[in-house]
Amino acid sequence: MPADFDTLQVHIQAEEIYKRAEYKRAFFIYRNELAPIGDKYGQYMVGYMYLRGRGVAEDRVTASAWYRLAAERDTPEFVSARDQLMAALLPEETVRSDQAFVELRKQYSDVALLMHGIREDFETLRDHRRSRLLLNDAMRVDDLRPGRNPGTRSAEDYYDQIERRMRARLKYIESRTGIAVATGNIQTADLREIERQVGVHLESLD
């Protein structure tokens, strides 16, 4: 899930502000603009600023929860930072870190964010199926994807792309959670059951 141009620009802005020691402003950007979209460096920086007390009250337990979230893709640097901090926590702090991490995980982990996207895709496809008889085969949909020349494509191609994206997201979730996801026929997928199992997974510390 590579960062897009707009996200990279936010990174540059946050780094410049941080270098000027405007820590509260930098923390706001990392916490409210980057971390919620699953940006791992942004999540790491939230943890780092909690750990150092820069722009926010020092809190190594909260820092550890953010470090754990940042490390979920097994990036070596983030894994190392997480492991070092977790090893320094007292037993009661580890319990609090577990609780804080689970709450963050339910909101900002890759799996949680992808499930939100899958729900949106599922509803788009459902609405399309309901209105398919009213669609004109010649209807065109603007292609405004970044980096592409403006063009047109058929409505069915547009919805086929959404289905492929939904299938890829479900496959990724299956690979990360071990939850068996039937992707053979997206239209008949039991999304509620998938969401239930994902919810159980996110409540755990696996």
Residues 9 and 32 in one domain: yes
Q: Which domain holds residue 167?
A: 110-203
Q: What is the pLDDT of residues 64-102, one digit of tens each?
A: 999 999 999 999 999 999 999 999 999 999 999 999 999
User: Mind giving me the DSSP string for the chain?
Assistant: ----HHHHHHHHHHHHHHHTT-HHHHHHHIIIIIGGGT-HHHHHHHHHHHHHTSSS---HHHHHHHHHHHGGG--HHHHHHHHHHHHHS-HHHHHHHHHHHHHHHHHHSHHHHHHHHHHHHHHHHHHHHHHGGG--TT-EEEE--TTS--EEEEHHHHHHHHHHHHHHHHHHHHHHH------S-GGG--HHHHHHHHHHHHHS--
- Could you say which of 38, 68, 98 is where a domain stops? 98
pLDDT confidence band for 146 (50 / 70 / 90): low
Residues 123, 55, single domain; the answer is no
Would residue 33 count as lying in a domain?
yes
**105 lies in a domain?**
no
As for how many domains the chain has, the answer is 2
Q: Is the pTM of this model over 0.85?
A: no
The model's pLDDT over 154-184, given as tens digits with 9 standing for 90+, comes to 777 888 888 889 889 988 998 888 888 766 6
Residue 127 belongs to some domain of the structure: yes
Residues 133 and 173 in one domain: yes
Mean pLDDT of 91-120: 95
Is the pLDDT reported for residue 12 higher than 50?
Answer: yes
In a domain, residue 104? The reply is no
